[in-house]
Structure 1
Amino acid sequence: MSQTEARHRADAEHPAEHPVDPAPVDRAVPGDQSGSAAPMSHREILQALSGLLLAMFVAMLSSTIVSNALPRIVADLKGSQSGYTWVVVATLLTMTATTPIWGKLADQFSKKLLVQVALVIFLAGSVVAGVSQSMGMLIGARAIQGLGVGGLSALVQVVIASMVTPRERGRYSGYLGAVFALATVSGPLIGGLIVDSIGWRWCFFVGIPVAAVAFVVLQRTLHLPVVKRPVRIDYAGATLIVGGVSVLLVWVSLAGKNYDWISGWSLALVAVGVLALAAATYVEAKVAAEPVIPLRLFRDRTTVLATAASIMVGIAMFGATVYLAQYFQLAKGMSPTHAGLMTIAMVGGLFVSSLTTGRIISRTGLWKRYLVGGTTLLVVGLALLSRIDASTPLVYTGVAMAVMGVGLGATMQNLVLAVQNNTRQADMGAASSVVSFFRSLGGSIGVSVLGAVLSSQVASTVTEKLAAAGVPSSGGDSTSIPDLDSLPGPIRAIFEGAFGSAAGHIFAIAVPFAVLALICVLFIKEVPLRTTIDVEDELSLGLEPQDVTGERAESRREDVGARP
């Protein structure tokens, strides 16, 4: 038996006693003509990871830095609550619709080049957003940004999966979670300071130098083999997926405001969206040689349940947290900077939880308990936040946000890790992006639906209170984002109370979705993390079925035997 085989056997039998070195990145793979090279050291992986983390940071920063600036932006551009929602939804929509396409492209083209292309698209969107003169122009620019963010959010996970084994991946995923937390906490603070000092347009310009540095660092440090496979792009599937998802997201974004939920417009949009996705399913299953979303991935129970959980986490996370800045500014009367400081409680919990769970998972190879604990805390945090209103003490709100942050830190990256652990390397891009896609889809739905609920409830409450106070109002008065400083004291109190009670209401709506995520996680079967890059590597090394777990090992052997 060779030394390599002996080491792999030892790692499988005693994972906690044998630390696992990062796996080779430049290794021979089916179809690769480049051969293999020496394994990457921890230092080399960190150098390559630095550019990826910068790219992820700037992608996350683009959302969080704008959150505290949005009330001021919408007021300056004469926008409404609907416009407020669409500035967020436009990015989520294009990010969501294109994420699986980016992932599939990563299975066929240079991952490094694709990450750099995504950065360039993001830079272009940032420039246009910074010079926007109307809400329409800003929303369009945010859509362009979303194209780049979709690529970065999908590709960073794929590249890490190409460099590091699942066993070690928990450790590096913890770094991703930490960067996510850093961007989340620094974004609102930076955004608040920028808005209060040099103007909101610099919220879009400030990410440009960071993205440029990430581009250069990636060029110098990221060296991955290009797997040479026949390139067959599924244009029909990609078009149908993007079209179907976009139409349905437009429907949930506009329903209840531009038309009734039960109306001719609703019926038409739902019909078009469902038909497009049905056609996409047929194309992916029967027509496409290289489908954007290979349906065979959903034969694996872990992938199905993790995907379902990702949708629910997306609804709860994006849909609820995106309106926290609005709550602090419009219900509590805080400045953008002060509102940014209030996010520290949630992000601190996310930061610590992500790093801690990532290191523990890498050491033990076990991950399900942290997913269960994380989703449980997410449910508890959202339930606590459902009790807030304009008069809620800040200490209570901070504790609730911290609990939710700890839950998110233990959940988000580990759902992707669970799926990657059960996936062949040749499908890694598609599988990783599927989880990100459905989480973003859930987020888009959550932001749209909860935004519509918030807008409707605020409008109803303000109209009722103004009428009771003998103050005439028009529909536009109750649906637009107010400048609190310009309002008389009694009128200001009415708006603050309306936004406060509406915020608690949308957190209450998010709770059942978090409960569904917890149920999905409970039914996931834990598979100890592999110590090799690819699932076939374990079988080729002759590891026993219990090392891979019986059910997965048998299915993998059948899959290997079925391929030429």
Structure 2
Amino acid sequence: MTALSNPIDDRDQHDAHTPSNGQVVTGDKIASAELDPSLADTDTSNHHRQSSEEKHADESNGDGTMEKVATGASLGRVPSQAQKLGKKKIVVVMAALCLVLFLAALDMTIISTALPTMASHFNASESGYSWMASSYMLANAAAVPLWGKISDIWGRKRILLLANVAFLVGSLICALAINLPMILVGRAIQGVGGGGIIVLVNICVSDLFSVRERPMYYGLFGSTWAIAGALGPIVGGAFTTNVTWRWCFYINLPIGGVSFVILVLFLKIEAEKTPLLAGLKSIDWIGIVLIMGGTLMFLFGLEYGGISYPWDSATVICLIVFGVVTWAIAWWLNGNFVFISGAYYLPLYFQTVLLANPIMSGVYVLPNVLSLSFTSACTGFIIKKTGRYRELIVGGLFFMTLGYGLLIDLKYYASWPRIIIYQLIAGFGSGPVFQAPLVALQANIHRGDVAAGTSTFGFLRQTSAAMSIVLGTVVYQNVLQQQMPKISAAIGPEKATALASSFSGSQGDVIRALPEAQKNVVLKSYTFTLSRMWIFYTAIIGFGLLVSLLIRPVVLSKAHTFTKTGLAEQERARQEILAAQRGETQPESKETV
């Protein structure tokens, strides 16, 4: 057995790594193995033992005592996947993962400023306008549950590359679209691929690094996500104004292509070959269809409500009710889940109230983005060094609740101290909760369930994002309708109707042309409308703060156990868990010490 230094941090050479015989090997044991060949022989013989044999590992729990951590036969390979890559290749691989995640996150916001131009180009109705905005998120949320399962069967690398290809194909279809149906199909394919990218980059990190090291990389993902969300409106507005809206999609091809090549060449994650037919038979298609169908029905109900059909119509009621019922059936069959969501509408305030153009509205959210990116990255390093996450989640949600609550106080004029300080506080709170809940989830579930748990987390996050967009629109439109009599009395029914139909702030020129008194009435009405939306989001975040107090703190381990993919390994792990339930053996514990 050869001693291998940790490529991430040479100072952690004493940290434990789990070999194939189920033992956690410390640096001292590795050194002694070099001096005593019998240890290596013992390790080799243990590797060939029966998979049902009980495995144990000595591991420090962080306070100097030792406890036994059982590992499954399908788990615990040495050297770790990160060690096989090497430090330089890890940097390259993480850069590629951040790039593909950046593109998937960018496409959630990049067309927000291009939508009016796109709708005009395709002569889209109000419903078509809405579908161009939401088709990506709907497909993204609905497809997420499938990606984690198929990556367990056919391996992370292959499925991540497949998701990347789907995203790029969807981007190309959108860029070449000649009519509205073509752009909607392209956005849906993009969403399916983007959902896979978002969940699989997190799963890849869980395979490459120990649960103690992952937060550092998840923090980088959080910063990437925040930057993409801020740059989306700016880039989309710049392309639409100076070139063409089609470049909102063309831009994905060269960047995504480079990332694809890097991942093909450098990403190394072990996977056994699984026959296509056998893999397809092993998928729980009933559960997948129920979850995807329930998600789409519920989101379609929210999408149609108040736009295509009245809220009390049979169509909307049936979609929402049956969507919830289908969800309940699916989760009754598949287990429990954890909920987290969050979104912000600051660009809407800058465009509708401050009358900023699309590019500047993106620039104005930089205080929030910079604060979020900084704290997200710092959170990862703090968790890596301390192994604690509960305090960061609770503290983050506290400042997030405070920050979003302060946004209720935004004025109808440009009060820059408020705008900057409130955004800094909201971003400061958002950073710690961007990826830390995923660490909490992974620390509290069985090691073999990390991929499924990460997929569930991604599914709920994307579903929540889609719901947040739709529900935010509902609150905005309903409150704005209540303000319409006041606006109509000030500027006339015709202009008031035109303003009410604009959600993206595209009527800025009309508002600027109004006399000062009339303009103030309109801006105050918009500000009041947005304040009701901030109240709605503050209440949701406040509820999340209360729920976060129930999170169970777990000390994170520096030992890395790797889950092998493939049907044989999945079946072996399943049999071990069943045997443990019968009291015959002990399954692998959570990734904790």
TM-score normalised by L of structure 1: 0.81
Whole-Å separation in 2 of the counterparts to 1:200 and 1:327: 23
2:153 is the alignment partner of 1:108 = yes
Q: CA deviation at 1:426?
A: 2.5
Helix, strand or coil at the partner of 2:213 = helix
Q: How many residues were matched structurally?
A: 507
1:489 correspondence with 2:493: no
1:172 maps to 2:217: yes
Give the structure 2 partner of residue 247 of structure 1: 297
| Match in the other structure for 1:429 | 451
Say if 2:76 and 2:563, in contact at 8 Å, map to a contact too.
no
Instruction: Provide the rounded CA distance (Å) in 2 between the counterparts of 1:531 and 1:118.
Output: 30
Question: Matches of residues 359-508 of structure 1 in structure 2 within 5 Å?
Answer: 359-462=381-484, 464-472=486-494, 478-481=500-503, 482-485=506-509, 488-490=513-515, 496-508=523-535
Q: CA deviation at 1:14?
A: 6.1
Partners of 1:135 and 1:214 lie apart in 2 by: 29
- The 1:12/1:331 distance shift into structure 2, 3 A limit, reads same
* Equivalent residue for 2:554, pick from 490, 512, 527: 527
Indicate the residue corresponding to 1:271 in structure 2.
321
Q: After alignment, is 197-206 or 388-397 more displaced?
A: 388-397
Amino acid at match of 2:311: W
Is residue 162 of structure 2 the alignment partner of residue 120 of structure 1? no
Are 1:341 and 2:374 an aligned pair? no
Please show how residues 20-35 of structure 1 align to structure 2 within 5 Å.
Answer: 30=74
Asked if 1:219 corresponds to 2:287, the answer is: no
Selected match of 1:260 from 299, 310, 320: 310
Residue 516 of structure 1 corresponds to which residue in structure 2?
543
Q: Secondary structure at the match of 1:67?
A: coil
Q: Using a 3 Å threshold, how does the CA distance of structure 1 residues 11 and 113 change in structure 2: closer, same or farther?
A: same
Q: CA RMSD in A?
A: 3.3
The alpha-carbon distance between structure 1 residues 381 and 70, as it changes in their structure 2 partners (threshold 3 A), is farther
Establish whether residue 93 from structure 1 lines up as the match of residue 138 from structure 2. yes
**Does residue 1:195 correspond to 2:240, yes or no?**
yes
Counterpart residue type for residue 164 of structure 1: F
1:328 maps to what in 2? 350
Q: Tell me the alpha carbon deviations over residues 45-95 of structure 1, each in whole angstroms, 9 at most, x when there is no partner.
A: 222222211111111121232233345444555557765554332222111
Q: Residues 464 and 77 of structure 1: is their aligned pair in 2 closer, same or farther, counting only changes over 3 Å?
A: farther
Q: Amino acid of the residue matched to residue 521 of structure 1?
A: S
Distance in 2 between residues matched to 1:559 and 1:513, nearest whole Å: 45
Q: Please list the CA deviations of residues 496-516 of structure 1 after superposition, one character each: whole Å capped at 9, or x if unmatched.
A: 444333222211111111011
Partners of 1:5 and 1:558 lie apart in 2 by: 33
State the 1:12 CA deviation.
4.0
Unaligned runs of 5+ in 2: 1-22, 30-56, 65-70, 565-579, 589-593
* Counterpart-to-counterpart distance in 2, 1:350 and 1:111: 29
Identify the range of structure 1 (208-217 vs 29-38) with the bigger mean alpha-carbon deviation. 29-38
Partner residue of 2:379?
357
Structure richer in helix, relative to its length: 1
Q: CA deviation at 1:164?
A: 0.2
Superposition pairs of residues 29-48 of structure 1, within 5 angstroms: 30=74, 39-48=84-93
Gaps of 5+ in 1: 16-26, 286-293, 299-303, 538-554
Q: Distance in 2 between matches of 1:118 and 1:62?
A: 15
Query: 1:6 and 1:518, CA in 2 relative to 1: closer, same or farther beyond 3 A?
Result: farther
Task: Measure, in 1, the Cα distance between the counterparts of 2:486 and 2:563.
Answer: 65
1: CA distance between counterparts of 2:409 and 2:486?
Answer: 22
The C-alpha deviation readout for 1:417-465, integer Å capped at 9, x for no partner, is: 1111223333221100111111222221111111122123334434541
- Contact 2:239–2:247, Cα closer than 8 Å, also in 1: yes
Q: In the aligned structure 1, how far is the partner of 2:265 from the partner of 2:534?
A: 44
Post-superposition offset of 1:366: 0.9
In the alignment, the residues of structure 2 paired with residue 29 and residue 51 of structure 1 have an alpha-carbon distance, to the nearest angstrom, of: 32
Distance 1:495 1:134, change over 3 A: farther
In 1, Cα distance between equivalents of 2:159 and 2:114: 30
Q: How has the CA–CA distance of structure 1 residues 14 and 5 changed in structure 2, closer, same or farther, with 3 Å as cutoff? A: farther
Moved over 6 A (4+): 7-10, 31-37, 555-559
User: 2:76 touches 2:560 (CA, 8 Å); kept in 1?
Assistant: no
Give the whole-Å Cα distance in 1 for the aligned partners of 2:146 and 2:581: 26
**CA–CA distance in structure 2, aligned partners of residues 337 and 560 of structure 1:** 61
Structure 2 Cα separation of the partners of residues 422 and 41 of structure 1: 29
